[in-house]
Amino acid sequence: MLVTGNDILVPARAGKYGVGSFNTNNMEITQAIIHTAERLRSPVMVQMSEGAIKYGGQDLANIVIDLARRATVPVALHLDHGSSYESALKAIKMGFTSVMIDASHHDFEGNVKETRRVVEAAHAMGISVESELGRLGGIEEHIVVDEKDAFLTDPEEAVQFIEQTGTDYLAIAIGTSHGAFKGKGRPYIDHARIEKIASLTGIPLVAHGSSGVPQDIVERFRKAGGEIGDAAGIADEDLQRATQFGIAKVNVDTDLRLASTVGIREALTANPKEFDPRKIFGPARDVMSQVIEHKLRVLGSVGKA
Ligand code: 13P
What confidence score (pLDDT) does residue 182 get? 85
190 Cα–ligand 1 center, Å: 17
Asked whether 270 and 17 are in contact (CB, 8 A), the reply is no
The closest alpha carbon to 22, from 54, 57, 52, 62, belongs to: 52
Tell which one of 19, 131, 208 to mutate to probe ligand 1, the residue whose CB is within 8 A of the most ligand atoms. 208
What confidence score (pLDDT) does residue 158 get? 98
Asked whether 129 and 112 are in contact (CB, 8 A), the reply is no
What confidence score (pLDDT) does residue 136 get? 79
Q: What is the DSSP letter of 300?
A: T
Atom of ligand 1 nearest to the CA of 210: 3
Give 188's pLDDT tier (boundaries 50, 70, 90).
confident
For the cut 80, the answer to whether the pLDDT of residue 181 exceeds it is yes
For the cut 80, the answer to whether the pLDDT of residue 14 exceeds it is yes
H helical segments located in the chain: 5-15, 27-39, 50-70, 85-94, 108-124, 145-151, 155-165, 191-200, 215-223, 236-245, 254-270, 277-299
For the cut 60, the answer to whether the pLDDT of residue 108 exceeds it is yes
For the cut 80, the answer to whether the pLDDT of residue 186 exceeds it is no
Atom of ligand 1 nearest to the CA of 81: 10
- The stretch 3-29 carries a mean pLDDT of 98
207 Cα–ligand 1 center, Å: 9
What confidence score (pLDDT) does residue 177 get? 86
What confidence score (pLDDT) does residue 8 get? 98
pLDDT digits (tens, 9 = 90+) for 211-257: 999 999 999 999 999 999 999 999 999 999 999 999 999 999 999 99
Atom 1 of ligand 1: nearest residue by CA position:
209
For the cut 70, the answer to whether the pLDDT of residue 128 exceeds it is yes
- Residues serving a catalytic function are 80
Atom 3 of ligand 1: nearest residue by CA position:
209
pTM for this prediction: 0.96
Instruction: Measure the CA dihedral 186/154/15/292, to 10°.
Output: -40
Q: At a CB cut-off of 8 Å and minimum separation 6, what does 57 contact?
A: none
Instruction: Give the chain's domains with CATH numbers.
Output: 5-299 (3.20.20.70)
What confidence score (pLDDT) does residue 144 get? 63
What CA–CA distance (Å, rounded) separates 283 from 265?
Answer: 10
What confidence score (pLDDT) does residue 138 get? 61
Residues with beta carbon inside 6 Å of ligand 1?
23, 80-81, 178-179, 208-211, 251-255
